[in-house]
Each structure stands twice: as structure tokens, then as C-alpha cells.
Structure 1
Amino acid sequence: MTFFICMPFMASASDISAANTRIEQALLTEDINTHLTQPAEYLGYPLGEWHLRHDQINHYLQLLASESDRVSLDSAGYSEERREQITAVITSEKNQKNLADIIEYRSNIKYGTMQTNRTNQNPLVVWLAYSIHGDEASGAHAALALSHYLAAANTPWVKELLDDTVILLTPTQNPDGFDRFSNWANNNKGQVIVTDNNHREHNQDWPGGRFNHYLADLNRDWLFLRHPASQGRVAFFHKWQPHYVGDFHEMWHQQSYFFQPGVPDRVNPLTKPANQALSNELAAFHRQALDEVKQVYFSGQMFDDFFYGKGSTYPDINGAVGILFEQASSRGQAQDSPNGVVTLAESIDNQFATSISSLKGAHALRKKLMKYQTDFFSSNIKRYREGKQSGRLVKAHGGATHINELVSILAQHKISVKYLNTVIEDDDINFTPQDSVFIPDSQPQHDLLEALFDKRTEFKDETFYDISTWNFESALSLSLIKKAKPSAKYLSDKPNGKITKATYPKDSVALVIDWQQAAAAPLLQQLLQQGVIVKYAQKPFSLNVNIGNRTAEKPQTSKQAIKFVAGSLQIPLKQQNFTAIELAEIVATLAQQHQVDVVASASSHAATGMDLGSDDFIKVKPVTPLIITGADTNASETGQMWHYLDKTLGIATTMVNTERLVSLDLSAYSHIFMADGPYHLISDATSRKLGQYVTEGGTIVAQKRALVWLNKRNILNSEPKTSRELNNLFITSGMDYGDQSKLKARQSIGGAIVALKLDATHPVAFGLPNPLPVMKNREISFNLTSTPFIVAAKYENDLLISGYLANEYQRAFANTPAMIVETKGKGKIVALADNLLFRNIWLGSEKVYANALYFVPSQ
């Protein structure tokens, strides 16, 4: 068939409409089933004249499925805003009738149990997925045209394709962001198309359509699975276990068209060479398709195949071949670029062309793709059958909540674990059923398991499109024995450490919660919301408590000294608004809900440290946080703060754009959070107001570039070092002109894991592992300070744990402050050089924000 691109000169909506019909016009030259509703017929206007909404896409796929025996629907669940992620399953009528067998076959292929009782069919499975970034809309529009074409075309190659292949078409992988963008683009479209880059249509208001509801980049969430859309998508992947995945995006409008392979030296070492060989073979089909329509393109540059948390690379570590496509974006209907006007119509045509080339290439190479997948899993299947009990013995510092989170993530990636049925001591670490699991090396998903725990500091190429490391041991603050070999009698297929609802003895005077438990923070928040008085310990202490099967009716006398870290919570059972029985019931219910261990004490007397009635137990005040939002804040980091406060802690959180701050009574808020950002739009009046807010007793929690702004406005005394100053560390003498890109790569911190040495006596460090692994992804640090008592954490001398960090930075950051808490008048400023919530997967360090909320204001 022939494809058409649109001429780069347009003046009216009718011109664009005509251009957008060219795909459909091309299809009419073939043998097409005219009884099926075309997208233009359904919409009432040519495809691309207006930006589609997600509901229109879903409704059209439902209509097509009702009209065609080639089309059925599958679902990958719902987004945060309850939009369903529908996929069109397109194949021959025969295959449609056998989909249950095919799905069973596909979902079991990694386990080596591929035979079914009814059929041995094993068609090629191709998944074409579009628009995971909501404002990269051309892919979703092309998917609609493609779904109609595959359902309607009767040409021989399409029939042969559908006989041999199950095609999965997912037009939108980020429904919430997609609708945010489509409404923006449509709202700012006029009768006369404006190609000026400065036009509102091409410059979205904050936060833009790229992100999901919580402002997360879903194409960075394939490994971490923080968001329901990602969880549904990964479940969908393992259900179908595709051979080929096409991942369709858009890039800057100044560029042309990209398809993989990417930069050869930036392929993850865990990716098999056969994967890249197939990527190169498939590229020939994309070249031919784009050459036919005279669309210029490039490969082997800019983009890489390193981070497995993206849609084009997750398949590579899961037995499939993933291919990234990037189309220059019109970000609306049409936009000027150095290459001429980029149009939505042209973009749709290009994405349609490479969708067809994907199908033709995958079909032509189907035997090689099938063999690649079989070979990928065969060695792991053999290893799995041998069943050797060697693997990772893992303990979570955060207790049950974090170990359960790890198990949940692994289960979604089809990685199995064994539970402990007794305490195992190894390397002076007590691994308990409540906070530990065993992850066998011998399992089908061995390769992905290795990728999740991969730790490296040396790389062939020091340039990274995204982060250079994502080690789960650091992200979740795990203690880990890598080659542990526990006896099978200590292991179980089912969890054994679940906390049941407790009954506390009637003679208890207080209930105590160790603050190291991750879920202690959301439990505290719920207690505060119910008006319960809770105190936190400024210092460590221990209590002698009764142990064994103690009941309220028959107390036992056997006692054990239990240690509690600073920050641990005390709930006195004598309170004005509750009886002791009521309080005990409230705490017991919440403790079971959050899987938090609560200790009942029959005496205020401590075995060591201060007694429970000491002034070193400080009453926790209710909190009312505000997050500063808007165009000069980092949307993703703002969203991560919101996600943590809202979804993890369960706090009603106010979000206010910078321009509105000047009109607010800031005293209504206990804390103001400032994510990374330049904050250029904050007026002088607002600056003075924020300074006054702190002086009068408020707390600001700020990170990264927000610290620079606070310092320049004389709100923060400590002086940050920025990239401009830090870049001077690099010697450029003797470099050639062509060395600039290598220098830029060394100066960039895309994402490296570094270690912080905490001052364990400081409130913002309470309950945290020490040293603390954090993700560093911006060139910022503090100058050394002589001011006493303000440094809560420093970078370790030997700070690099995993990933790439230039030696110049390692020397410059070593032993310098990473977390500072300054007093200003009656208030505090918590200054963080790093984002300790990184993509909401950095569970080991997120408690810093809870400490800042509940403990810092009480000082």
C-alpha cells in the first residue's frame, strides 16, 4: 500500500482536514470491507481535525469490535481517574475463537508449561502501544486508523498476517494525561491554524499532558509500578507475553523521526546480543516505509536501551524485542520547525507507516522472534526445574510494609518469593517472618530479577537517556545476603508473619510503636485525625514488657527488654477524650490495618533511657501541609510529594500555584513544601511573605533548586552549590571541539545512588537506616558550614553505591552536608540537596518528609 505525508504549509482547519483523510483515501484504493465504520464516520469529521479524547477512542474500539469478527477487546485496568485502558485484539476469526487457548499458552511460556488440552496454536503476538505520554498524541490517532485498516482490509498480506499473528493495539497508555492535553489543544485551536511556536496551543499550562494524575511519567514506571495504569499494563504484558512491542512517542518539534536501534554502546549489559541483532533487522522495514514517503529519520543516536523501566526496554529483559519510535511533535495542529511546519496530520501518517512496517517486519521475522523468546527462557526454565535453593535473603528496614511492597512488585513481574516460617540469623542479621523473604535465583524471571538488583559503577559509555541505576536494595533500604542457602524447612510458600488484631492487657498504661516501621507514619496521621494524643521520643529507650501468650485475664510475668529508637511513638492510655478501652480498640484496629507492631507497657518505668512520663516525650501536633505548585516547579517532584502526602500518609494536602501565594493567609499551614524548580515567578511580595511565615513559626521543606531561591531571598542562610559552580571542577584544557558531548555527559547526574551518613540524634533522621542510600539526579550540594547543630546528614566519604557519578563530583560532595535544618525566628527550614522520594519508589528515605512534618515543628 502507499502512504502519504502532509505538505508542510497550511492555513485553515479545512486544509488540515483534507490532509488527514489521506490515510483513509489510500485505504480506499485497496480491497476494504466498507461495512465497517471508519474513524471519520464515527467522529463526524476527518481523523486529526480535532484532538481525540480517551472516551472517543474507547467507544470507537467498542464499535469496531461489535462490527468485526476480527476484533475483540481486552482491558489493562483503570487509570487513577478511572479511565479504562482498552486494547483492541485483532486477528483472524479462527484465532479469535481460540483466544482462551492462545492466552493460556502465552502466559505460561516463560514457565515451560506451554501445552494446552485443546490446541497447540502459537501465533506471533505483536503489541503496538501508543501515547504513554499524554501530550504525544499522534500515536493514538494512528492507532485508530490502524485498527480500522486491520479490521477492514482484505488484501492477501493482511489476511496472512492475521492468520499468523495476534495484534494488540493500545491507543492510549496514559488516559488521564491524554485527556488533559486534548482538552488544552482543542480549547486553543482556532479556525485559522497558528504555527507560531509562541501560540498557547503549543505551550501547555503547568503541569501539561505528559504526566498522569499524580504528575508521574508513566514511561519511567514499568519497573517500579507506583501507579495503577502501570500495574495494569505490566499485568497485560505478562498475560500475553508478546514477541514484539512497538512503543510510539513524540519528541521535540525541531527533530525528524527516530526508531531503534539506539546508541550501540549504551545498551544495558544484561540485554542479550540477539535482541539488538533483531532490532537491526527490523529497522530495515522502518527505513523502507519512511523512505517511501520521503520522511527523513535517524537511528543509533540520542536514545538508548539501558533503563528497563521504559516501554521499549522492559520487553528486552522479558523475552521480547521492544522498539522505540519518536515522531517530531506538533503539540497541537501544526508548529513551525527548522525542517518546515510539523503537522498533526503528517505525524499521524508517519506513525501509521511505522506501525505497518512493525507488523510487516515482525511477521517476516516471526520465526526468529519466536526462537529468540524460546531461547531467552529456556536456560531459566532449566534453572527453575533444578530448584536450587540459592538466592537473596532480604530484610526490609521499614518492616512489614516495605517487605510486602517488595513482594507485591516482584509478584507483578512474575518473580516468586519464599516466606520465612522462623527467624534466620545470617551475617549477624536477624531475618524474621515479619520483615524478610527469600528470593530464589532459580526461576523463570531470573534475568529481570538480576536487573532489579543490579549494582554497577563502571560503564562503557557514560551518557544516559535516563538514570544509570535503580537498585532495589537501595531504593527500599534492604539488608541482603546475595548467595544465601537457607534450608527448605525454614521456608514456606505462604506468608507467616502477618500481624493480627491485638488485645492489649488491661493493666497497660501506654502503647508504644517503634518508629522504624514504615507504616508507623500513616498510622500516626490517622490517630491525629481522630484527636488522639500521641508523643514521640527525642531519644532511644527500652522497656521491660511481658512476652508470650499473655492475655488480659491471665498475665504472665516473663519479661523482655525491647529497644525503641528515637522518634518512637507513645500513646498514653489515660486521655481526656477517650477511655483506655476505646483507645486500645482504635490502636489495635489501625495496627492490624497497617501491619504495625504495637507494644503494650504496664509501667511508665523504662529499662533504659527516659521514662514514659519524661519531658523528652514530645506531643505531636496535627499538621496542615501546603505544596507550592505551578509553572516554575518541577511537575514530577511536586507530584511525588503530593502522592506521598496523599496516598501514603493520608493527609488532606493543599496545592497552590505560586502566583496565588501572596493573597493567602499562610499561617493556616503548618508546613510549606517546595519541590525542585527555579521559582522565577514568585514575586518580591511573596518572598517577603514566605520569610515572615518561617519567622513566625512555620516550617518550609525544600529541595534541590528551591534551596538556591531561598538562599537568594535570604530565607535560607546555608549556601548551595549549583551546576554553574560545580561544572568548574572539570578540566577542559586539551579537549577538542568534538569532546563537548562527552564532557556534558560527565557533568550530568542523570541518576546515581549515593550514601548519606546521618546524625541519628537529629529529628529528621529518626527511624531511618544509617547510612541512608538516596538517588542523586541533580548537580547541587551545600558548601561546608561552621554553624553548629544544623547538619542532619552528610554525604559519605566513599559515597557512590551504584550508577555513574563523575570522580570530580565524588570528591566535591564527599563529607559535605546533604540535609540541613535551620532555625529562623520561631520556624524551621528543612533543606534537602536531593529528592528523597524519587519516583515514589525510594521507600527507604521517604520517612524524612514524615519526620519533617511531625517532629521538626515541635523543636
Structure 2
Amino acid sequence: MTRFLFSLILLGSISVSAQQLKSPSEFLGYELGTQFTRHHEVVDYYEYLAESAPDRVQLTVYGKTNERRPLILAYVSSAENLTNLENIRQEHLKDTEGTGNASKAIVWLSYNVHGNESVSTEASMKTIYELLTKKSSYLENTVVIMDPCINPDGRDRYSNWYNQYKNTPYQVDSNSKEHHEGWWSGRSNHYMFDLNRDWAWLTQVESQQRLKMFNQWLPHIHVDFHEQGVNNPYYFAPAAEPYHEVITDFQRDFQVTLGRNHAKYFDANGWFYFTKEVFDLLYPSYGDTYPIYNGSVGMTYEQGGSGRAGLGIITAIGDTLTLKDRIAHHFTTGLSTVEVSSQNAEKLNEEFRKFHQNKEFKYQSYVLKGDKDKLNALKSLLKKHSIEYGDLTSGSYKGHSYGTGNNGSLSINKNGMVVSTDQPKGTLVKVLFEPNAKLSDSLTYDITAWSLPYAYGLDAVASTSSVSDQNIQETLASSNINSGSYAYLTDWNSMHDARFLAALLNKGIRVRKADHPFSIEGKSFNRGTLIITKGDNENKEGFIQTLQTIASKFEKEITSTSTGFVDSGKDFGSSSIQMITKPKIAVLSGGPTSTLRFGEIWHFFEQQLHYPITVIDDEYANRVDLNEYNILVLPDGRYGSHFDEDQLSELKDWVRQGGKIIAMGGSINALDGKKGFGIKKKKVKKDSTENTPQPYKDWERERIKGAITGAIFKTKVDNSNPLAYGYGSNYFSLKLGSNAYEYLDNGNAVYLEQNTKPFSGFAGTEAQKKISESLIFGVENLGRGQVIYLVDNPLFRGFWENGKLFFANALFMVD
């Protein structure tokens, strides 16, 4: 009887505590769904819950955004579980090694990765309140980790914009301004990156900080809450094909289990939904796939709405979709996910242990060699993923050759490494390093190739055998800077070298470059070698100390030479040893440019190269004196007839006088066929036998014959061209579409030869014909200046590391 009375008292106290908690509407002072909540108000509510129910909510700030907004996580569970939270975490992680005895379900709910998909964060507040009140029973054997806003900068950009321009009361007519964001929408983060494509590449501060926390938990379940077009019904798992082959039967089946539970609630409310369409599970850098490759059941949930929906909008069938509706749907799937996870906690733990047992992958080891800077760049990424690797300095290794696409061998005499699948992150290793991902269906939502050896420009073999590392003690590069020397030399092979050069130029140090190979005092140097002479910098106060400081910071190996008289090649006073012109760079933004592509350039300069740029918006670009700059970057986009004849004539004259245009992707179309510009789009004659009408049901399959969904092609490189300094005779390019241009009359630095097939990823048969014998990167001389054409995107999503030196060459080497 005493125990029964104690239980009643305990239940009563919990009930009182639940009643005392304010709902989001009560706390915020307005009904949830009638306004967009600013990020600081969301943080205030979560802090309020943590202060009011500290036994069941723990809050942590795990980082800050570029605009200094806090990134927070809320841990929600029963009082008993939260008291024992660290032990629960440790026991759960032991399951990755097969030694744990975990019993709790770990569910991670991520909201608002796209800032203008704003319903997510609103729904998170309703969800956590419900878990702490009416649905607290779910938490007895479950720890729920909630990230209420992955992208605070984008969310506030959208909510502030909407609050500025909305009607009062809100207008459901889709023509009203409140349904039409401007060029810079709230979808992206500060640098206009799509954070939902950055889980694997970790180029953004939000992703880097979040993944540290994710790796501390590796949850059983991860849900990424999104929005899609206004007229689409709700989407939830199971996902569409293609599924990556590493996805387990359990991961597939549990998506179905969850989907059926969601459907039960949606059916009861008469809400429309769809499954098994559009959103596949292949590309590894999404908020559903990345967790899957780490052992979670990862899922995307998509509500109709996004930035166009506002507080309410009329859909194509005449219904009114409100923010309240959208909240209700995400709230329902969120709670349903926790419910099913709680019911299946034992099974989730069992299958998580199985996932991390040794896998019978075809390739057990990936052996790589190459430039030390490129290896270090890859190692840096692997560390962030908690992926283990080892160093190699010698040996010959057989396997699938990434360079040829066939069986081959790789000899290492220094600068090598090995990554094995025999580790807790083994499945992720397989996905990120495999030469060619197996496609169960060529209709995919994103790119189909990303293999890291290609992305980092490293020679590699995939071995069916286990390869052990050699426990190498790393030595730092030495900088032999003798203050009495004539000149100081260093190589040019990587983005690391480009950062070193940028730092020198920023400090006012004058630098020359070698346009021909040379040897001096018994050492050989390649094209692009940086030559820093004492004579060029004799008026630079503290020159030697500045050079020494920068060289030490970048761990650059510097060779001092006592003479400018070379053993072979061109002496340092030759016209072939030219001064690198300090770039003064303008980048076009707005209007015709893609926000994502502009953001890649912006991030490249500020966060990777650390070199200043001037951003010029198209609204006032015609009033800017271009003579103040020597480089103009035109990001990819839809230019159409953006430049009229007078503007093109002005651009051409500016180039002739010594300016440099870097035209990327779609911006090349603005110059295609225009008088004075030599770039021409490639045209392919259609075979008359291809005119047979196709059934309507096959239109999508027919369409993809002309598409390239992010495939890797082996290209030919003319490394005597300054645009290709630092490269070998081949380059693996990530091609994102079938746009193709003819070879230039001169200056074809990188190009596709005849009958080129993809080394990795999908490219339709018609697309392959179209891009055969086409330009990838080239330079056209025009008067004293140049136009540089970058058909493929070397800065794509910031992760194609081996392409970035081409962009640096365009800035510093081409003259």
C-alpha cells in the first residue's frame, strides 16, 4: 500500500510539473503558427524549458554560426535517464565495438537545415513540449536529442524578410510579395551553402561543429525535417531507389515500420502523403544518408511549403495551406518517430551492434599517394569524421587502379597513406572511397560520383587485402631562409601553396613565378615555382622576418639560392620569370548569378584562400569603374541576355587593356558566339533514326539519356598552360551537366578527348556524345588581357579539393 501511495504522489508531482510548463504559445505570447519565431526567441524557449524542467531537459551550446548565432542541442528524457546520460552514451558507443550492453533508444531530430523551410523549428517547440507533458512515457527508455535550428543565419534571414514584407493580415494570394523572396533567399547559410549537402564534406562551420556532437552519439534514428514545393503533399519514409548497396535490410525495413506508423496518424486526419518517390538514399552528404552510413536509420521528412508558403497560401487545387497545418504535420511525424523508437528500443540496439560488426566489403584497404599537401588535406577531413588512417612511405600495392579504372599497382617511396574498412567507421570509408558507387536506378536526386581519391587528386588503388600502416613519425618541413641569399624558392602544387602565396601578397611581398622548368644549384623546379627575390623586396621593411613567419605558419619548405644564374632553364632576370600581379578582384553577385555558385566563390576567398574581394551586385554594376580591378569573376548562373552589346563591348575593351575575366559555367553562355570572344557552344547533329516517338510513360528515362548526374571524367591536361601549373597530364573532373563547348583555337588547358566515358557516376549515352572532344578549362588571350573559361566547376560545394588550384592559377598564374 505504501509503495502504491508513493507512486500516486510521484505521478501527481510529475503532472503538476507538466501543468506548470508553459506551452510555446504561452511563452512566446502569440499562438504558434501565427508568426515566424526569431531564432533568439526559440533559444529563449528552450532555455526556459531547461530551467523549468532541469531533471528532464539538458541544453548545450555546441557552437556559433558565422553571424554569431548560437547552435544548441536539447537532450530530452526521463529524470532517471538524464541523471545517467553520460553512462548511456558510453554504453551506446561500446556497441560500435561489439562490447556494449545498451538498452536505450537514441533518437536525434534535426530541424531547419534550410533556413526558409521554417516550419521545422516551429514544430520542434511543439514537439519538445508534448514530450515533456502528454508523451513523457516515450522517454522512459529513449533519449531524444533535438537540434531546433541547424541553420539560424538562414532562418533569421527568412523570418526577418517575411516580417518586413508580409501583409497584415497575411495574404494567401501567391502573387503577393510575401510569397516571393529575393535573390538571396533564406535557404542557405551565411556563405550561401546548402548545409544539407555538407554532412560529408564539412566545409561550413555549422557542419563541423554539429558533427563533433553527432560523433559523440551516433544515434539509432536521425530525422532531417524539410519542406518542399507548396503543392506537394507530405513525404516520409520509406525512401525512393536508388538505395546504396551498404544499406542494411533492417535499415530498409525500419523505414517501412516508421512509415506505416506515420500513415496511421495521417490517415486518421485525412492528410495526403507519399512515400518511395523522389528522395533516394545514395549521395553521402545528406542528413539522411550520412547518418545511415554511420549505423543510424536516417530519414528525410518533407512538408509542402518552403519560403513561398508564408503564414498561408492558396495551393494549385484551391486549398489554403497555413503554417499551423505545416506545424501539425511535422509535429505528428516527429512524435510518431519517437513512439516507434521507444517501442523498438531493444531491436534498435541489437541492429546497431550488428551494423558495426566486421563487413565483408570487396575492398578492405584504400592505398593512396601524392603531394604531401593533398594528403594532409584529406587527413584533415578524415579526422573530422573520426575515420582512422595510417601512413606509408614504401611498398608496392595491387588493386583496382583509380587512374586507369582497371587492375593495377601503386608504388610508394614516400608520401603515402592507407585507409581500412576494418574500423567502426568502415561503412562510411567504403562509401566515401569506393571507385564507383553501384546504382540500382539511374534516376537520382543528386550527384552519383564523389570518390575521395579523385576529389583530392591522389593516385590510389583499392585493395582486396588488408594493408597495415608503417607508423611513420611525421617531420615538419624546413625553411632554409638565409638572409644573405639572392632568392627564395618554393613549389606550386596545391591549395596550401596558394594560401601561402596569398599571405605573402597580403603582406606586400613581391613574388615571381617560373613559366618554364629550371634547375639551380643541383635542384630541379617545375613550372609555377614561386621565386621571391631579395632585390624585389629590398624596400620592404622586415622582409626576411615576414617571409620566415609566413613560411613557418604554412610549414613551407623554402630553398635559398645565392644566385639567379640557373643551371638549365631561364635565369631569374628573364622575361619568363614574371612578377605575379597582385590581384584586385571583383565578383558579380545578384540577378543572373546562382546564389549557391556565388557562395562557393565567396567562401573560397574568405575562408579557404584568405584573400580580399569586392562583391559587386548587378543592380549597380553598370555604375562601377572596372578599371579599379584587374580581375572580374562571373559566377555560374542564368545570364540570358543580361549583358547588352554596349556592356559586352565595354567588357571586351577592359580585357584588351589588361583585365581578366573568369567566366564560370552558365556565365560562359553570355559570351558564347559574341563578337570578339572565341568560345562556341558545341552542337551535335541528331541522328534521324532517333526521331521515333517514345511512349509517354518512358519520357523520364528518355530524358536522362542526355543528362549527366554528377559523374567523374578523366580529362587531358596541358600543364605547360599557366592555368594548369601544378598538375600532371590528367585531371579527374566532376562534370555536373552536359553543356559542352568547342576547343579554343589556342589555350586549351584541360579538355575531353574523343569517346570519353565516365570513370565513376552516371552519364547518359546522348550526353556522352555531346561532351566528346570538348573544353573543360581554357584561356583566351585578348589584347593585353585574358578570358578564362571554367566549364566545369572546380569549387563545387567546396569539396572538390583537386580543382581549387585551377582557380588559384586563374588568379595568380595566368597573365
Q: By the TM > 0.5 criterion, same fold? A: yes
Deviates more, 1:368-377 or 1:690-699: 690-699
In the TM superposition, what is the alpha-carbon distance from 1:294 to its structure 2 partner?
A: 1.3
Aligned-partner Cα distance in 1 for 2:207–2:686: 37
**1:696 matched to which residue of 2?**
657
Indicate whether 1:442 and 2:428 are aligned: no
Q: Which moved more, 1:789-798 or 1:447-456?
A: 789-798
Question: Which whole-Å CA distance do the structure 2 matches of 1:312 and 1:589 have between them?
Answer: 44
For residue 89 of structure 1, report the CA deviation from its aligned partner. 0.7
Q: How does 1:372-451 map to 2 (within 5 A)?
A: 372-379=351-358, 391-397=365-371, 399-400=372-373, 402-420=374-392, 422=393, 431=412, 435-451=415-431
Shift of 1:488: 5.8
Paired residue for 1:813, among 771, 776, 787?
A: 771
Given the alignment of the two structures, is residue 706 of structure 1 paired with residue 667 of structure 2, yes or no?
Answer: yes
Structure 1 residue 308: deviation in Å?
A: 1.6
Q: Which has the higher mean CA deviation after the structures are superposed, 663-672 or 185-194?
A: 185-194
1:541 aligned residue: 518
> Is the 8 Å Cα contact of residues 358 and 422 (structure 2) preserved in structure 1?
no
Change (3 A) 1:744 1:281: same
Q: Distance in 1 between matches of 2:689 and 2:476?
A: 53
Match of 2:614 among 654, 670, 674: 654
- 8 Å CA contact 1:625, 1:654 repeated in 2: yes
Aligned match of 1:719: 680
- Residue 758 of structure 1, CA deviation: 1.1
Report the Cα distance in structure 1 between the residues aligned to 2:565 and 2:757, rounded to whole angstroms.
41
Q: Distance in 2 between matches of 1:200 and 1:261?
A: 36
Asked whether the equivalents of residues 716 and 751 of structure 2 are also in contact (C-alpha less than 8 Å), the reply is yes
Shift of 1:603: 2.8
CA shift for structure 1 position 407: 1.3
Q: CA deviation at 1:457?
A: 7.0
Partner of 2:813: 855
529 and 390 in structure 1: CA distance in 2 versus 1, 3 angstrom threshold: same
* Structure 1 equivalent of residue 123 of structure 2: 142
Query: Residue type matched to 1:749 in 2?
Result: I
Residues 1:348 and 2:327 aligned together: yes
Q: Does structure 2 conserve the Cα–Cα contact (< 8 Å) formed by 1:512 and 1:598?
A: yes
Residue of structure 2 equivalent to 1:616: 576
Matches within 5 A, 1:468-507: 468-483=448-463, 490-492=470-472, 496-499=474-477, 502-507=479-484
Equivalent pair of 2:436/2:760 in contact (CA under 8 Å): yes
1:217-616 superposed matches below 5 A: 217-263=194-240, 265-329=241-305, 331-339=309-317, 340-379=319-358, 391-397=365-371, 399-400=372-373, 402-420=374-392, 422=393, 431=412, 435-456=415-436, 459-483=439-463, 490-492=470-472, 496-499=474-477, 502-544=479-521, 561-578=522-539, 582-616=542-576
Q: CA deviation at 1:271?
A: 1.5
1:723-742 CA-to-partner distances (Å, cap 9, x unmatched) read xx799899352521111011
Listed as ranges, the matches of 1:55-66 within 5 Å are 55-66=40-51
Distance (Å, rounded) in 1 between the aligned partners of 2:349 and 2:115: 32
Between stretches 581-590 and 504-513, larger displacement belongs to 581-590
Deviations 1:425-481 (A, max 9, x none): 668867466x43222332121111010012227633111101111111111111113
Offset of residue 74 of structure 1: 2.8
Partner of 2:402: none
Aligned to 1:209: 186
Check 1:623–1:347 CA distance in 2 against 1; reply closer, same or farther (3 A cut).
same
Whether contact under 8 Å (1:419, 1:496) holds in the other structure is no
State the Cα deviation string for residues 177-221 of structure 1 (Å, max 9, x = none). Answer: 111111111111121221222222221111211111111101001
Residue pair 1:662, 1:689 contacting (<8 A) in 2 also: no
Residue pair 2:480, 2:557 contacting (<8 A) in 1 also: no
What's the secondary structure of 1:519's corresponding residue? helix
Deviation at 1:582, TM superposition (A): 4.0
Residue 66 of structure 2: aligned partner = 80
Query: CA–CA distance in 1 between the matches of 2:396 and 2:518?
Result: 24
Counterpart secondary structure, 2:462: strand
Aligned to 1:645: 605
Which residue is 1:550 aligned to?
A: none
Q: 2:418 touches 2:469 (CA, 8 Å); kept in 1?
A: no
Preserved CA contact (<8 Å) 2:671 2:679: no
Letter in 2 for 1:309: S
- Summarize the Cα distance change of 1:715–1:213 in structure 2 as closer, same or farther, 3 Å threshold: farther
Q: Deviations over 1:769-821 (max 9, x none)?
A: 33111111122111245x2x232221144341210011222233223222221
Could you say if the C-alpha distance between residues 756 and 369 of structure 1 is closer, same or farther in structure 2, counting changes exceeding 3 Å?
same
> Given residue 79 of structure 1, which amino acid in structure 2 is its aligned partner?
T
Question: Which residue number corresponds to residue 755 of structure 1?
Answer: 714
Q: Write the distance in 2 (CA, Å) between the matches of 1:373 and 1:854.
A: 50
In structure 1, give the amino acid aligned to 2:375. Answer: I
Match of 1:174 among 130, 151, 160: 151
Identity of aligned residues (%): 27
- Contact 1:252–1:328 under 8 Å retained in 2: yes
Amino acid at match of 1:166: V
Q: How many residues get paired?
A: 785
CA deviation profile, 1:818-846 (whole Å, cap 9, x unmatched): 22211223321101111111111111011
Unaligned residue ranges in structure 2 (runs of 5+): 1-14, 398-407
State the 1:486 CA deviation. Answer: 9.5
Following superposition, the deviation at residue 138 of structure 1 comes to 0.7
Of 682-691 and 435-444, the range deviating more from structure 2? 682-691
Asked if the contact 2:704–2:764 (Cα under 8 Å) also holds between the matched residues in 1, the reply is no
What's the CA shift for 1:71? 0.7
- Structure 1 residue aligned with 2:104: 123
Where in structure 1 are there 5+ consecutive unaligned residues?
1-29, 115-119, 384-388, 545-560
Shift of 1:712: 5.3
Task: Give the corresponding residue for 1:663.
Answer: 623
C-alpha distance in structure 2 between counterparts of 1:744 and 1:483, whole Å: 37
- Separation in structure 2 between the aligned mates of residue 257 and residue 489 of structure 1, nearest angstrom: 49
Establish whether residue 733 from structure 1 lines up as the match of residue 711 from structure 2: no
SS in 2 for 1:141: helix
Q: Offset at 1:503? A: 4.3
* Aligned mates of 1:247, 1:517 — CA distance in 2: 36
User: Aligned in 2, Cα 1:32/1:489: closer, same or farther, shift over 3 Å?
Assistant: closer
Cα distance change of structure 1 residues 668 and 70 upon mapping to structure 2, 3 Å threshold: same
- 2:84 equivalent to 1:98: yes
| Separation (CA, whole Å) in 1 of partners of 2:437 and 2:217 | 35
Q: 1:197 to 1:686 in 2, by over 3 A?
A: farther
- 3-state secondary structure, aligned to 2:356: helix
Counterpart pick for 2:633 among 673, 686, 709: 673
CA distance in 2, matches of 1:90, 1:728: 63
Q: CA deviation at 1:571?
A: 0.5
**Separation in 1 of the partners of 2:105 and 2:566?**
67
State how far apart, in whole Å, the 2-side matches of 1:375 and 1:590 are. Answer: 49
- For the 8 Å contact 1:76–1:229, the answer to whether it is kept is no
Pick aligned residue for 1:198 from 175, 178, 196: 175
Amino acid at match of 1:394: L
Q: Do the aligned residues in 2 keep the contact of 1:259 with 1:299 (CA within 8 Å)?
A: yes
Counterpart of 1:642 in 2: which secondary structure?
helix
Tell me the secondary structure at the aligned position of residue 759 of structure 2: strand
Say which of 1, 20, 23 aligns to 1:38: 23
Q: Does 1:632 align with 2:585?
A: no
How do residues 759-778 of structure 1 correspond to structure 2 at under 5 angstroms?
759-778=718-737
SS of match in other structure, 1:740: helix
One-letter amino acid matched to 1:842: W
Give 1:713 shift: 4.6
Distance 1:803 1:323 in 2: 23
Question: Per-residue deviation at 1:107?
Answer: 3.6
